[in-house]
């Protein structure tokens, strides 16, 4: 192995040491949906529930397609990874999620 090679290949999620553009360091408020995603992550990872472990969540983030990783915001990546993991573990199916989303869209349409 020469000095430029590493024992592992960095994924698209691993920017360590690479120029990735400016980092916004000012505090900014989170939106309600972002707060809910954060709460969901906490609840699903709670030791009493044990529906997911942080390493499983990280695995979902790291195996996301480069296209999805680049186009999604921070919390969008979280919910994408949570969703993929819950489907992978058989806790929910894609059909169940699709049905629930359709129901919510119908409700929103009738409320407008």
Task: Evaluate whether residue 16 is within a structural domain.
Answer: no
Q: 4 in a domain, yes or no? A: no
Q: What is the CATH number of the domain that holds 58?
A: 1.10.472.20
pLDDT of 17 over the 70 cut? no
Residues 48-73 pLDDT 10s: 988 999 999 999 999 999 999 999 99
Per-residue pLDDT, 4: 52
- For the chain, the 3-state helix, strand and coil shares in percent, each to the nearest 5, are 55, 0, 45
What per-residue confidence (pLDDT) applies to 2? 45
Q: Is residue 72 part of a domain?
A: yes
Residue 111's pLDDT band (cuts 50, 70, 90)? confident
Domain count, the chain: 1
pLDDT tier at 14 (50, 70, 90 boundaries)?
low
**Domain annotation covers residue 68:** yes
Determine the 3-state secondary structure of 13 from DSSP: coil
Quick check: is 54 in a domain? yes
């Amino acid at each position: 192995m020469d000095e430029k090679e590493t024992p592992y290949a960095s994924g698209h999620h691993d920017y360590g040491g690479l120029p990735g553009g400016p980092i916004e360091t000012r505090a900014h408020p989170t939106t309600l949906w972002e707060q809910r995603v954060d709460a969901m992550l906490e609840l699903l990872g709670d030791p009493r529930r044990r529906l997911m472990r942080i390493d499983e969540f990280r695995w979902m983030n790291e195996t996301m397609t480069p296209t999805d990783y680049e186009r999604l915001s921070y919390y969008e990546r979280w919910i994408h990874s949570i969703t993929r993991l819950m489907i992978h573990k058989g806790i929910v199916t894609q059909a169940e999620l699709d049905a629930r989303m359709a129901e919510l869209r119908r409700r929103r349409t009738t409320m407008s």
